[in-house]
Homo-oligomer: A and B are copies of this chain.
């Protein structure tokens, strides 16, 4: 009997001990065997790192071994690749995919081609299918959050959700009639409905997008600012993009566009300004004081010979600088990897300093910088416990990625969009082995080519 009791006690202890030692937490995804660029505040790099995803969030980031505590539904071997935060595109017009490679480099193409084409072509269907196509390109190239300004923005929201990426989507407001608003400034009412519909969406942040200072007016910009406070949503706008715009405010108020916007009280922590090419030190101080987010669109800005925004200076002064592609009719590609290379090199040229804007800073702008520009740095932009699981794996097997002495250098100077292998957004794998899982690419190609035939017919009359 005593013997029996002893055995029983040992058995029970064994069960308890066993359970304690070997109890594992169930999680959704474990990513192993890669170099983790956390992009956290210490810019920690973890060689042979592991990332744990549970539901839509990052549960843990650490060194090889931590995965033993978990039992995962899905294990991804990064195969010595680079594991990084999803990239953030802080400015685009994704539906314009339909017009990509049309009338490039034509002087005054905005008035000669773009506005007339949009007048005849923009429809809910075109906006949706164009956004589908552009979102596919972005998803496959590791962009997990897009920031968009266009018409029928609810259709962009549908497309972005269909592909499975995150969107900060601004409904355009402009002083003349447009495709989705017959009345001047009709975008405000459209935006209100759009915001109401999407204000609690997991992936979509609806926003107002007054096109630019000079295509709006003081009264309506102030109305939008007031509404953005009420709804607590972002305001996206092109600012200080052209010399002509600067001249307008110089002549009218003896102010820069930034000074004008500040003077009417619309710059605040909800405001995201795209371009900011023509800004001076005083403007930069204002932007900092008002905590404005900045979308730096290097490729589009130099392709149109507009100039180089002092974005590096703004970044170094602590402003919130992210990278943007602009629309596919301006910058032609929608990936952020390509932007990083241009940004790193162009600021070197601009400053005459080969050490300016090192790769780590380009990756910062592409990830946590973009999150900061959108005031979403508490949720996305880095691989840290508790953040949303927006994760990209870049393969390092292709010849251009070999060898790697520095993962940041490899990403910025060697990689291209096609090196992206796996993309996870909000805990869901949307790209695996370079293949999109959420839409039929062939169908999207067919859709674009059908629009193309219509566009050519219209363009011939312009």
Measuring CB to CB, which residues of chain A are less than 8 angstroms from any residue of chain B?
97-107, 133, 136-137, 140-141, 299, 302-305, 307-308, 331-335, 338, 342, 344-346, 348-349, 351-356, 358-359, 397-400, 402-406, 409-410, 413-414, 416-419, 441, 444-445, 448-449, 451-452, 455-456, 459
Find the residue from A137, A353, A403 having the highest chain B CB count within 10 A. A403
Q: A409's contact among B332, B335, B338, B418, by CB below 8 Å, is which?
A: B332
- Check A400 against B137 for contact (C-beta < 8 Å): yes
Shortest A117–chain B CB gap in Å is 11
**Copies of this chain:** 2
Q: Please give, as numbers and ranges, the residues of chain B lying within 8 Å of A452 by CB-CB distance.
A: 403-405
The docked-state distance in angstroms from the alpha carbon of A213 to that of B358 is: 31
Known: A100-B405, A107-B354, A305-B352. 11 other contacts (CB 8 A): A100-B402, A101-B403, A103-B405, A104-B406, A105-B354, A133-B402, A305-B353, A332-B413, A338-B416, A402-B448, A416-B417
Q: A348's contact among B100, B304, B344, B354, by CB below 8 Å, is which?
A: B304
- Check A104 against B359 for contact (C-beta < 8 Å): yes
- Check B354 against A413 for contact (C-beta < 8 Å): no
Given A335-B400, A449-B402: A349 touches B307 (CB 8 Å cut-off): yes
The docked-state distance in angstroms from the alpha carbon of A106 to that of B417 is: 26
Q: Please give, as numbers and ranges, the residues of chain B lying within 8 Å of A402 by CB-CB distance.
A: 97, 100, 133, 444-445, 448-449
The docked-state distance in angstroms from the alpha carbon of A104 to that of B99 is: 37
Given A404-B101, A416-B418: A302 touches B133 (CB 8 Å cut-off): no
The docked-state distance in angstroms from the alpha carbon of A445 to that of B402 is: 7
Q: Please give, as numbers and ranges, the residues of chain B lying within 8 Å of A302 by CB-CB distance.
A: 345-346, 348-349
What are 10 A-B pairs at a CB distance below 8 A?
Answer: A104-B406, A104-B413, A133-B399, A302-B349, A305-B348, A402-B444, A402-B448, A403-B449, A405-B456, A416-B418
- Check B418 against A345 for contact (C-beta < 8 Å): no
Shortest A120–chain B CB gap in Å is 16
Shortest A437–chain B CB gap in Å is 14
Nearest B residue to A451 by beta-carbon distance?
B403
- Check B416 against A303 for contact (C-beta < 8 Å): no
The docked-state distance in angstroms from the alpha carbon of A462 to that of B195 is: 58
Given A305-B354, A400-B333: A101 touches B416 (CB 8 Å cut-off): no
